[in-house]
Amino acid sequence: MSTVSKVSVATKRLLLGRPFRSDKLGHTLLPKRIALPVFASDAMSSVAYAPQEIFLVLSVAGITALAFTPWVAVAVAVVLAVVVASYRQNVHAYPSGGGDYEVATVNLGPNAGLTVGSALLVDYVLTVAVSVTSAAENIGSAVPFVSEHKVWFCVGAIVLIAAVNLRGIKESGALLAIPTYAFIVGVLGMLVWGFTEIFVLGEEIRSETADFGIAAEQDNLTGLALVFLVARSFSSGCAALTGVEAISNGVPAFRKPKSRNAATTLLMLGAFSITLLLGIVLLAQEIGAKYVMNPSTDLVGAPEGYQQKAMIAQLAHAVFDSFPAGFFFVALVTALILLLAANTAFNGFPVLGSVLAQDRYLPRQLHTRGDRLAFSNGILFLAAAAIIFVVAFDAQVTSLIQLYIVGVFVSFTLSQTGMVRHWTRLLRTESDPSARRRMMQSRVVNSVGLVMTATVLVVVLITKFTAGAWIAVLAMVALFVVMKLIHHHYASVQRELDEAEADDEGVLPSRTHSIVLVSSLHMASRRALRYARATRPDVLEAITVNVDDRDTRKLVSQWEASDITIPLKVIASPYREITRPVIDYVRRVRRESPRDVVTVFIPEYVVGHWWEQILHNQSALRLKGRLLFEPGVMVTSVPWQLTSSDRRKETKRYWAPGETRRALGESERTL
C-alpha cells in the first residue's frame, strides 16, 4: 500500500481550497443599499395588493363602511411594525440564515420546524400565484389587452420566470435593485405629488371611481357582523406582511457586522412598507377611490363595460391626470416588482427544499445546491403548482389572497414562540445583569410579536377558512405528512444499515471472479476485456448469450482466430432473452463459491443524442438494473465513447437561482 499513500500525498495538491473551508471566490457580500432591494422585493411588492383588498372587503357593506379603511390600515401597520421589531431579534439571535425553520426546529422541536417548512413551501407557491396575478392586474390597468387575457398572461409569466431560473442565471444584486428602487420612487413620488396637489395647491383630485356608488351586499350590518367584516378586511390587509421574514433567511449574505446590518435593513424595509401602505390607503380615501369584487354589478353608475383598475393604478391615473407617462411608469414598476417577488419565490423554494433535504425530509439530492437537476425539479414543481392555482382561481387576486397569508402567519407564530423559548432558555444560564436585561427586553418584543401574530392567525383562520384558507391548510397538512413519511423511510434505511454494521464481521471477499459480457468482438468489447484483465481478477471469463445462432457462431470463430486468451462461454437462451440467462449464470457462480465477489463488466456505448441512447445499450442497461439486485455482485460499465458523445462532454458551471441571497461559502451548513 506504499504506492497508495505516496499518490495520496501527491494528489492532495489537486484539492481546491482548504479541506474544511468552502471557497469564497467569486462572491461579494451585499452592502445594505443592495441588500434592501434584493431581500425586500417580496415584502415591498405586497403593498401593491394589500390596500385594495382592505377596500374590497369593506365595500361589501356599502360606501359608508369605507370609513373604516384608515383604521384597518393603521392596524395592519402596527402589526407590521411589531413583526419587524420581532424579526430584528431573530436576526440577532440566529445570524446563520436558518430563518423561521431553524428557530422553530431548535426551540420547539422537529415537528414545529416541519410545520414551518410545510407552511413556507405552500407560501412560496402562493407568492408566485398572487404576485403574478397582481402584476397582470396592474399591467392590465394600463394595457387592456393584458387584462382581457389575464390567465394566459399569468401562465406565460410563470413559464418565463421558471425558464429563466431553469437555465440558471448569475444574479446581479445591482440589477435586482433597479425595479425595487424604481417602485419606491414611483409610488412615493405619486403619493407626494398627490398630497401636494390636494393639501398644498388645493386642487381637487378625483378618482375615476369617485362618483360611482356601491351596491352594498349587506346593508345595515349588526354589530357583530360588522366586526367580522372589519376583521376580514384586516386579514386581507395583513397580506402586506408577507415577505418580511425574507431578510432573516439572508443574514449571511450581508456585510459585517451582519446581524446589525440585517436588522437595520429590516427597519428600513418596515419604514418603507408602512409609509407606502398608509400613504396609498389615505390618498385612496381622499380621492374617493373604490375597489369592489364585481365591478359590473357592485359599482352603481359605472358605464357599461367599465374595466376596474388596480388601486395603485387608480391613484396614479388620478394623480398623473395630465401626465400619462407618470401613470404608465407607476403601472410598469408595480408590475415589475411583483414579477420580481415571484422570481424571489423561485429562488427561495429550492433553497428551503435544500434545507429540508439536509434534515432528510425531502429526497437527499435536493441538498446539493450546484445540482442543476435537483433545482430543476423544485422549479418545475413550483411553476406547475402556481399555474394550477392561477388557472383554478381564474387569476383573481382577491380569491388567491384568501389562501395566502395562513402559511405566513403559521410561520410567524411558530417562529415567535420559538424566540420566546430561546430567550427563556438563555436567561436560565445567563448571570450578567446587562445581558439579562437585553434578553428580557428581547423576550418582551418577541412575546408581543407572538401575541400579535397568533391573534392575526386566529382572525385569519376564522374569517377566511371557508373562503379558501382550508385549501392552504390542507396542502400544508399533506406536505407535512409526505415529508414525515420520507423522514421515516430514511430513518428505517439508516436502522437497516446500522443493524448490518452490528452483524458485520469485517471479512474481505476471498477472491474476485470477473465476467465480461460480450456480444461481438468489436473495440468496445476488446477494451472491456483489456480493462477487466488489468484488474487482475482470480477468475476471468467472457460470456455471450446465444440470442442468435448465426451471430454466436461468427463470434466464436472470430474469438478462436484472435489472440484473446480469455475463455469465452456461450450461454444458451432458449427464449432469446438476455437478462435471465445472465442472472442465472451469475447466481450459479455465486452458489459455487459464495465468498467470491463477482464483477460483471458490461461494455457500453456513450452517445451524444437521446435518440442514439434508444438505439444502443438498452439490453445492457436493463441487465445492469437487474444484476444490482443480486448480492455480492458488482457491475462495471466500460464506456466506449462514440464521437457524437463529444458534444455532451463539457461540464458547465450552473448558476443556481438565489445565489446572491445565499452568501455562498458562508455558514452554508445551517443555512
Q: Which residues 457-486 are close enough to bind a second copy by CB under 8 A?
A: 486
* Residue number with CB closer to a second copy (437 or 622): 622
Q: Which grid coordinates are listed for 46?
A: 405586497
Half-sphere exposure of 456 (CA within 13 A, CB side): 34
Tally: H helices and E strands in the chain = 25, 7
Stretch that binds a second copy, among 61-69, 174-182, 454-462, 510-518 (CB under 8 A): 510-518
Q: Does 569 help bind a second copy (rule: CB under 8 A)? A: yes
- Number of residues in the chain: 671
Q: Which of 648, 658, 663, 666 binds a second copy (CB under 8 A)?
A: 648
3-class secondary structure, 432:
coil
* Residue number with CB closer to a second copy (471 or 597): 597
* Residue number with CB closer to a second copy (12 or 428): 12
Q: Which of 219, 256, 466, 536 binds a second copy (CB under 8 A)?
A: 536
Q: Does 2 help bind a second copy (rule: CB under 8 A)? A: no
Q: Does 224 help bind a second copy (rule: CB under 8 A)? A: no
The whole-angstrom separation of Cα 436 and Cα 443 is: 10
Q: Does 550 help bind a second copy (rule: CB under 8 A)? A: yes
- Return the axis-axis angle of helices 618-627 and 579-592, rounded to nearest 10°: 30
**How many degrees, rounded to 5, is the angle at CA 176 between CA 165 and CA 32?**
130
The whole-angstrom separation of Cα 341 and Cα 51 is: 17
Q: Does 554 help bind a second copy (rule: CB under 8 A)? A: no
Which helix (H) or strand (E) covers residue 110, if one does?
A: helix 110-142
Q: Which of 167, 170, 206, 489 binds a second copy (CB under 8 A)?
A: 489
* Residue number with CB closer to a second copy (32 or 367): 367
Which helix (H) or strand (E) covers residue 538, if one does?
A: none
Stretch that binds a second copy, among 84-92, 158-166, 193-201, 527-535 (CB under 8 A): 527-535
Q: What would the 3-class secondary structure string for 376-419 be?
A: HHHHHHHHHHHHHHHHHCCCCHHHHHHHHHHHHHHHHHHHHHHH
Minimum distance of a second copy from residue 639's CB (angstroms): 4
Stretch that binds a second copy, among 40-48, 249-257, 296-304, 648-656 (CB under 8 A): 648-656
Cβ partners under 8 Å of residue 411, min gap 6? 100, 116, 119, 120, 123, 245
Contact 173, 660 (CB under 8 A): yes
Q: Does 256 help bind a second copy (rule: CB under 8 A)? A: no
In 3D, which of 267, 231, 233 has the Cα closest to residue 81? 267
Sign of the Cα pseudo-torsion (40, 41, 45, 46, in order): negative
Q: Does 253 help bind a second copy (rule: CB under 8 A)? A: no
Q: Which of 186, 578, 660, 663 binds a second copy (CB under 8 A)?
A: 578
* Residue number with CB closer to a second copy (27 or 149): 27
Tell the residue number behind the cell numbers 401593491, with chain if given.
48
Sign of the Cα pseudo-torsion (35, 37, 41, 47, in order): positive
The whole-angstrom separation of Cα 225 and Cα 306 is: 30
Which helix (H) or strand (E) covers residue 563, if one does?
A: none
Cβ partners under 8 Å of residue 67, min gap 6? none
Share of the chain residues as helix, strand and coil, in percent rounded to the nearest 5: 70, 5, 25
* Residue number with CB closer to a second copy (228 or 654): 654
Stretch that binds a second copy, among 22-30, 107-115, 188-196, 254-262 (CB under 8 A): 22-30
Amino acid letter for position 658: G
Site for a second copy, residues 581 to 640, rule: CB under 8 A: 581, 583, 585, 588-589, 592, 597, 599, 601, 604-606, 612, 614-616, 618-619, 622, 624, 626, 628-631, 633-640
* Residue number with CB closer to a second copy (217 or 612): 612
The whole-angstrom separation of Cα 486 and Cα 650 is: 34
Residue 12's CB: how many other CB atoms inside 10 A?
Answer: 9
Q: Does 570 help bind a second copy (rule: CB under 8 A)? A: yes
Stretch that binds a second copy, among 64-72, 157-165, 314-322, 493-501 (CB under 8 A): 493-501
Minimum distance of a second copy from residue 597's CB (angstroms): 5
Q: Does 649 help bind a second copy (rule: CB under 8 A)? A: yes
* Residue number with CB closer to a second copy (148 or 538): 538
Minimum distance of a second copy from residue 184's CB (angstroms): 33
Q: What residues are paired with 570 via a beta bridge?
A: 544
* Residue number with CB closer to a second copy (105 or 265): 105
Residue ranges of the alpha helices (H) in 46-109?
A: 50-58, 69-93, 99-108
3-class secondary structure, 210:
coil
Minimum distance of a second copy from residue 358's CB (angstroms): 7
Residue ranges of the alpha helices (H) in 504-627?
A: 523-534, 549-561, 579-592, 610-615, 618-627
Stretch that binds a second copy, among 9-17, 73-81, 169-177, 454-462 (CB under 8 A): 9-17
Q: Which of 180, 552, 559, 663 binds a second copy (CB under 8 A)?
A: 552
* Residue number with CB closer to a second copy (304 or 563): 563
Per-residue contact string for residues 368-407; x = within reach of a second copy by CB under 8 A: xxxx-xx---------------------------------
Q: Does 169 help bind a second copy (rule: CB under 8 A)? A: no
Q: Which of 19, 303, 305, 433 binds a second copy (CB under 8 A)?
A: 19
Q: Does 367 help bind a second copy (rule: CB under 8 A)? A: yes
The whole-angstrom separation of Cα 251 and Cα 261 is: 8
The whole-angstrom separation of Cα 329 and Cα 648 is: 45
Q: Does 264 help bind a second copy (rule: CB under 8 A)? A: no
Q: Does 534 help bind a second copy (rule: CB under 8 A)? A: yes
Q: Which of 142, 339, 483, 540 binds a second copy (CB under 8 A)?
A: 540
Q: Which of 221, 339, 656, 663 binds a second copy (CB under 8 A)?
A: 656
Pairing of strands 299-300, 213-214: antiparallel
Question: How many chain residues interact with a second copy (CB under 8 A)?
Answer: 135
* Residue number with CB closer to a second copy (478 or 614): 614
In 3D, which of 366, 361, 360, 350 has the Cα closest to residue 480? 361
The whole-angstrom separation of Cα 531 and Cα 50 is: 67
Stretch that binds a second copy, among 6-14, 119-127, 236-244, 345-353 (CB under 8 A): 6-14
Running DSSP on this structure, what letter comes out for residue 62? -
* Residue number with CB closer to a second copy (42 or 659): 659
Site for a second copy, residues 335 to 364, rule: CB under 8 A: 358, 363-364
Q: Which of 222, 303, 565, 610 binds a second copy (CB under 8 A)?
A: 565
* Residue number with CB closer to a second copy (139 or 532): 532
Q: Does 22 help bind a second copy (rule: CB under 8 A)? A: yes
Q: Does 70 help bind a second copy (rule: CB under 8 A)? A: no
**Omega before 70 cis (within 30°)?**
no
